[in-house]
A and B are shown apart, each in its own frame.
Chain A
Amino acid sequence: MKRPSFLELRGHSARRRFLKGLTAGFSGIALRSLLAEDSGWKPPTGLAHFRPRARRVIWLFMRGGVSHMESFDPKPALNKYAGKSILETPFKGVQTSEKLKKVRVVVVNDANGQQRNTLYPLQVGYRQHGQCGVEISDWFPHIASCADDIAFLRSMWTTDDNHGAQVQFHSGRHMLDPREPTIGAWVTYGLGAMSEDLPRFVNMGPRYFDVRDGHYLGPAYDAVNMKVDPKNPLAYASPEVALTDQEQAEQFHLVHRLNTLASEEYPGDGMLMARIRNYELAFRMQRAVPAVLRVDEESVATKKLYGLDEKVTEPFGRQLLVARRMAEQGVRFIQIQHGDGAAGAWDAHSGLKTNHTGLSAQVDKPISGLLRDLKSRGLLDDTLVVFATEFGRTPGSQSGDGRDHHPYGFSVWMAGGGIQGGIIHGATDEIGFHAEQDPHYVTDVHATIYHLLGLNARHLEIPGRKRLDRDYGEVIRPILS
Chain B
Amino acid sequence: MVWGSEAAAHGRLADLPVKKCRIRIGWVAALTGVWLLVSTPRSSASVDYLREIKPLLKVRCYSCHGALKQKGDLRLDTLDSLRKGGLHGTPLGMPNPLLLARVSNPDETERMPQDGSALSKEQIGKLAEWVSEGAPGPSAEEPDPDPRAHWAFKSPQRALLPKNDSAARPPTIIDSLIASRHASRGLIPQAEMPRELWLRRVYLDTVGLPPTVRQIEEFQNDTSAVSHSQVIDRLLSSPEFGERWARHLMDLWRYSDWWGLDAQLRYSQKHIWHWRDWIVESLNSGKGYDRMIVEMLAADELDPENQDALRATGFLCRSYYLFNRTTWLDEVVEHTSRAFLGLTMQCAKCHDHKYDPLEQADYYRMRAVFEPYHVRVDAWPGEPDFEKNGLPRAFDLNLNIPTHIHRRGDDRQPDTNRVIHPGMPVLFGELEVKPVVLPISAHSPGLRRYVLEDQVRAAENQIAEERVGLKQAKGRLEALVSQNKKEKPNVLATASPSAAEDPLADANAAVKVFERRLEAAEIKPIALRASWAADAWKQGLEKFWTLPGVHMPLEPEGWVREAALADARLRLAQTQANLAAAEKELATAPKEKQNDIQKRLKTAREVIEKESKRVENPDTHYRSSSGALKALVGPEDSFDKNPSFYPAQSTGRRLALARWIANRKNPLAARVFVNHVWTRIFAESMVGDVSDWGRRAAPPLHQDVLDTLAVEFVDNGWELKHLLRVMLNSRLYRLGSTSKGADPATLAADPENKTYWRMNSKRLDSQVIRDGLLFASGLLERDVGGPSVPVPSGENSHRRALYFQQHGELEHRFLAAFDNSNVFECYRRPESVTPQQALAMANSKLTRECAEALEKRLASDLVMRREFGGAKRPADAEVDRQFTRAAFMTLLARSPNPGEEEACLESLARLGPVLFSDVEAARARVLFLQALMNHNDFVTLR
Task: List residues of chain A with CB under 8 Å of any chain B CB.
Answer: 3, 24-31, 33-34, 36-39, 45, 47-52, 101, 104, 106-110, 176-179, 192, 194, 199, 210-212, 215-216, 218-220, 224, 234-241, 243, 247-248, 250-255, 257-259, 261-262, 264-269, 271-272, 274-276, 278-279, 281-283, 285-286, 342, 454, 456, 459, 463-464, 466, 469
Take A28-B832, A33-B684, A219-B820 as given contacts and tell me if A250 and B5 are in contact as well, using a CB distance cutoff of 8 Å.
no
A166 to B904, CA, bound (A): 51
For chain B, the bracket of interface size reads 35 or more
Interface residues of B in 758-778 (CB under 8 A from A): 761-763
A282 to B843, CA, bound (A): 11
**Would B13 and A464 count as touching, CB distance under 8 A?**
no
Asked if B899 lies at the interface with its beta carbon under 8 angstroms from chain A, I say: yes
- B904 surroundings in chain A (CB, below 8 A): 254, 258
Interface string of B673-717 (1 = CB under 8 A from A): 000000000011100110010001010000000000000000000
Task: List residues of chain B with CB under 8 Å of any chain A CB.
Answer: 1, 5-7, 9-10, 13-15, 116-117, 261-262, 323-324, 326-327, 330-331, 334, 344, 346-347, 412, 634-636, 683-685, 688-689, 692, 696, 698, 737-740, 751, 761-763, 808-811, 813, 816-817, 819-820, 822, 824-825, 828-840, 842-845, 848-849, 897, 899-900, 903-904, 907, 910-911, 927-928, 930-932, 934-937, 940, 942
**Would B832 and A50 count as touching, CB distance under 8 A?**
no
Take A215-B824, A282-B838 as given contacts and tell me if A250 and B684 are in contact as well, using a CB distance cutoff of 8 Å.
no
**Would B899 and A240 count as touching, CB distance under 8 A?**
no
Take A243-B927, A342-B262, A456-B15 as given contacts and tell me if A252 and B842 are in contact as well, using a CB distance cutoff of 8 Å.
yes
> What is the CB-to-nearest-CB distance from A27 to chain B, in angstroms, rounded to a whole number?
5
**Would B689 and A463 count as touching, CB distance under 8 A?**
yes
A285 to B899, CA, bound (A): 29
**Would B830 and A218 count as touching, CB distance under 8 A?**
yes
Take A49-B9, A224-B836 as given contacts and tell me if A38 and B738 are in contact as well, using a CB distance cutoff of 8 Å.
no
A178 to B324, CA, bound (A): 13
Given contact pairs A36-B698, A108-B634, a sample of 14 additional A-B residue pairs in the complex whose CB atoms are under 8 Å apart: A25-B833, A26-B833, A29-B828, A29-B830, A31-B830, A50-B10, A51-B10, A101-B412, A199-B835, A212-B822, A234-B836, A248-B842, A266-B761, A285-B835
A380 to B457, CA, bound (A): 72
**Would B740 and A281 count as touching, CB distance under 8 A?**
no
Which of A50, A109, A238 touches B843 (beta carbons < 8 Å)? A238
Which of B9, B14, B842 touches A251 (beta carbons < 8 Å)? B842
- B412 surroundings in chain A (CB, below 8 A): 101, 104
Question: Closest 7 A-B residue pairs measured CB to CB?
Answer: A282-B838, A218-B830, A47-B9, A282-B835, A28-B831, A251-B931, A220-B832
- A50 surroundings in chain B (CB, below 8 A): 10, 13-14
- B897 surroundings in chain A (CB, below 8 A): 261
* Chain B residue at minimum C-beta to C-beta distance from A276: B936
* Chain B residue at minimum C-beta to C-beta distance from A469: B117
Take A248-B842, A464-B689 as given contacts and tell me if A261 and B899 are in contact as well, using a CB distance cutoff of 8 Å.
yes
> What is the CB-to-nearest-CB distance from B752 to chain A, in angstroms, rounded to a whole number?
9
**Would B843 and A220 count as touching, CB distance under 8 A?**
no
**Would B810 and A211 count as touching, CB distance under 8 A?**
yes
**Would B347 and A466 count as touching, CB distance under 8 A?**
yes
Q: List 25 A-B contacts (CB under 8 A).
A: A29-B683, A29-B684, A29-B830, A39-B696, A51-B7, A101-B412, A108-B635, A178-B331, A211-B808, A212-B822, A218-B819, A219-B832, A220-B830, A251-B930, A251-B934, A255-B931, A262-B936, A265-B740, A266-B739, A266-B740, A282-B835, A285-B839, A286-B839, A342-B261, A456-B15
A161 to B822, CA, bound (A): 26
**Would A267 and B739 count as touching, CB distance under 8 A?**
yes
A456 to B692, CA, bound (A): 26
Which interface residue of B829, B931, B935 has the most chain A CB atoms within 10 A? B931
- B836 surroundings in chain A (CB, below 8 A): 224, 234-236, 282
Take A24-B834, A179-B824 as given contacts and tell me if A240 and B738 are in contact as well, using a CB distance cutoff of 8 Å.
no
**Would B13 and A49 count as touching, CB distance under 8 A?**
yes
**Would B832 and A26 count as touching, CB distance under 8 A?**
yes
A164 to B931, CA, bound (A): 43
> What is the CB-to-nearest-CB distance from B703 to chain A, in angstroms, rounded to a whole number?
14
**Would A219 and B816 count as touching, CB distance under 8 A?**
yes
> What is the CB-to-nearest-CB distance from B224 to chain A, in angstroms, rounded to a whole number?
29
**Would A272 and B740 count as touching, CB distance under 8 A?**
no
A240 to B838, CA, bound (A): 14
- B1 surroundings in chain A (CB, below 8 A): 192, 194
**Would A236 and B817 count as touching, CB distance under 8 A?**
yes
* Chain A residue at minimum C-beta to C-beta distance from B848: A241
> What is the CB-to-nearest-CB distance from A479 to chain B, in angstroms, rounded to a whole number?
22
A239 to B897, CA, bound (A): 30
> What is the CB-to-nearest-CB distance from B485 to chain A, in angstroms, rounded to a whole number?
56
- B347 surroundings in chain A (CB, below 8 A): 466
A282 to B844, CA, bound (A): 13
* Chain A residue at minimum C-beta to C-beta distance from B849: A241
**Would B9 and A220 count as touching, CB distance under 8 A?**
no
**Would A464 and B696 count as touching, CB distance under 8 A?**
yes
A109 to B636, CA, bound (A): 8
**Would B838 and A30 count as touching, CB distance under 8 A?**
no
- A234 surroundings in chain B (CB, below 8 A): 836
Which of A247, A253, A266, A285 touches B737 (beta carbons < 8 Å)? A266
Take A38-B698, A240-B843, A271-B833 as given contacts and tell me if A279 and B10 are in contact as well, using a CB distance cutoff of 8 Å.
no
- B334 surroundings in chain A (CB, below 8 A): 178
* Chain B residue at minimum C-beta to C-beta distance from A48: B6
A216 to B344, CA, bound (A): 15
Which of A27, A109, A248, A466 touches B830 (beta carbons < 8 Å)? A27
- B808 surroundings in chain A (CB, below 8 A): 210-211
> What is the CB-to-nearest-CB distance from B36 to chain A, in angstroms, rounded to a whole number?
34
> What is the CB-to-nearest-CB distance from B921 to chain A, in angstroms, rounded to a whole number?
14
* Chain B residue at minimum C-beta to C-beta distance from A253: B907
A456 to B10, CA, bound (A): 11
**Would A176 and B326 count as touching, CB distance under 8 A?**
yes
A224 to B813, CA, bound (A): 12
**Would B15 and A176 count as touching, CB distance under 8 A?**
no
A291 to B849, CA, bound (A): 28
> What is the CB-to-nearest-CB distance from A409 to chain B, in angstroms, rounded to a whole number?
21
- A45 surroundings in chain B (CB, below 8 A): 9, 13
**Would B737 and A218 count as touching, CB distance under 8 A?**
no
- A3 surroundings in chain B (CB, below 8 A): 910
**Would A266 and B738 count as touching, CB distance under 8 A?**
yes
Take A220-B832, A251-B930 as given contacts and tell me if A178 and B935 are in contact as well, using a CB distance cutoff of 8 Å.
no
* Chain B residue at minimum C-beta to C-beta distance from A179: B824
A265 to B10, CA, bound (A): 40
**Would A39 and B688 count as touching, CB distance under 8 A?**
yes
> What is the CB-to-nearest-CB distance from A37 to chain B, in angstroms, rounded to a whole number?
8
> What is the CB-to-nearest-CB distance from A233 to chain B, in angstroms, rounded to a whole number?
11
**Would A454 and B10 count as touching, CB distance under 8 A?**
yes
* Chain A residue at minimum C-beta to C-beta distance from B911: A250
- A282 surroundings in chain B (CB, below 8 A): 835-839, 842
A48 to B825, CA, bound (A): 30
- B809 surroundings in chain A (CB, below 8 A): 211
**Would B830 and A219 count as touching, CB distance under 8 A?**
yes
* Chain B residue at minimum C-beta to C-beta distance from A263: B936
A469 to B117, CA, bound (A): 8
- A261 surroundings in chain B (CB, below 8 A): 897, 899-900, 903
Take A107-B635, A454-B6 as given contacts and tell me if A257 and B688 are in contact as well, using a CB distance cutoff of 8 Å.
no
> What is the CB-to-nearest-CB distance from A224 to chain B, in angstroms, rounded to a whole number?
7
Take A250-B927, A251-B927 as given contacts and tell me if A279 and B830 are in contact as well, using a CB distance cutoff of 8 Å.
no
- A38 surroundings in chain B (CB, below 8 A): 698
> What is the CB-to-nearest-CB distance from B914 to chain A, in angstroms, rounded to a whole number?
11
- A251 surroundings in chain B (CB, below 8 A): 842, 907, 927-928, 930-931, 934
A278 to B939, CA, bound (A): 14
**Would A267 and B828 count as touching, CB distance under 8 A?**
no
> What is the CB-to-nearest-CB distance from A229 to chain B, in angstroms, rounded to a whole number?
16
**Would B907 and A24 count as touching, CB distance under 8 A?**
no
**Would B324 and A254 count as touching, CB distance under 8 A?**
no
**Would B830 and A258 count as touching, CB distance under 8 A?**
no
- A274 surroundings in chain B (CB, below 8 A): 833
